[in-house]
Amino acid sequence: MKKIVVLDGYAANPGDLSWEKMKELGTCVIYDRTAPSEVIDRIADAQAILTNKTPIRREAIEASPNLQYIGVLATGYNVVDMDAARERGIVVTNIPAYSTPSVGQMVFAHILNITQQVKHHSDEVHRGRWTTSKDFCFRDTPLVELLGKKMGIVGLGQIGFNVARAGLGFGMKIWAYTSKSRLQLPPEIKKMELDQLFHECDVISLHCPLNEQTRELVNARRLALMKPTSILINTGRGGLINEQDLADALNRGQLYAAGLDVLSHEPPRPDNPLLTAKNCYITPHIAWATYEARQRLMQIALENLKAYLAGAPIHTVTPK
């Protein structure tokens, strides 16, 4: 491999991991970030490119006569024009399942923060409210136990199953909206139609892909089905939610709270209504980004490129 270009390496490796093994495969140029206007120039003579969120559009592919391989440093590969890559015979790979444990952790980080009001009470302690309390303990919000609560999981892939197992560990009852048949599910996970899931479940966690069928599946109509005590979690894709509808529902008290790690536009625009919505807890798309998950990502990216060079590519993806 003559030239490998990493277009946006900083997110996966801000300096605590190493590119050295990748550099052994060829001349390796690593950029922390690449603006869309810089892509064509930076990949013009590359044989292999790696990208996380930098879009690889048709015009960039057509302007890169030597390009043979595109490695996506993520599971989702919608940043690549797959039709253009196929027409050129370019191999495209992704990184499956690397972040499954970490994303599951973030789901329950949000759930536990909301049900136990961890951040709120810590902030109040530091403001001095515990030191002036008349009692040995101090609380000023409801605290919620998960035992026996219904958890609805939308999309039952590897992450969805991982979240289901964690929920079972807390004693929750697990329901899922999934294309899998009842015979494919363990007895402790029950199937449920989507509207019924939104109507009955205490916690709803989104783990389905974003496509034309799932875009804004969380909208005003479905939010109106939710109980005022219920919680919505999204660590999947921001586009699964109509953000104005969710903000309105939170502000009206149609649901108790939302915990989000993804938004429809990232970084968010300053006028995103969820930034000021009531009981909306937002983390900046970091569920995938534990040290251990990024280690796996880097290792799989290396293995993907090695396998391609050996003539037996793995983790290849094809147009939908």
Where do the DSSP E strands lie in the chain? 3-6, 27-30, 48-51, 69-72, 91-93, 150-154, 173-177, 189-191, 203-206, 231-234, 257-260, 280-282
Based on the number of CB atoms within 10 Å of its own CB, is 219 exposed (0-12), middle (13-18) or buried (19 or more)? middle
Same fold for the domain at 3-98+291-309 and the one at 100-282?
yes
- Catalytic residue from among 237, 243, 294, 315: 237
In the predicted model, is pLDDT for residue 320 greater than 60? no
Q: Give the three-state DSSP class for 106.
A: helix
CATH superfamily of 100-282: NAD(P)-binding Rossmann-like Domain (3.40.50.720)
Structure token digits, residue 51: 């990208």
* Residue 266 annotated to the active site: yes
* Residue 120 annotated to the active site: no
Instruction: Kindly indicate the confidence band of residue 16, based on its pLDDT and cuts at 50, 70 and 90.
Output: very high
Answer yes or no: pTM beyond 0.75: yes
Q: Are 4 and 25 in contact (CB under 8 A)?
A: yes
Q: What is the pLDDT of residues 216-275, one digit of tens each?
A: 999 999 999 999 999 999 999 999 999 999 999 999 999 999 999 999 999 999 999 999
Per-residue pLDDT, 284: 98
* Residue 237 annotated to the active site: yes
Q: What mean pLDDT do residues 183-198 have?
A: 96
- Catalytic residue from among 121, 207, 222, 285: 285
The CATH fold of domain 3-98+291-309: Rossmann fold (3.40.50)
* Domain boundaries defined on the chain: 3-98+291-309, 100-282
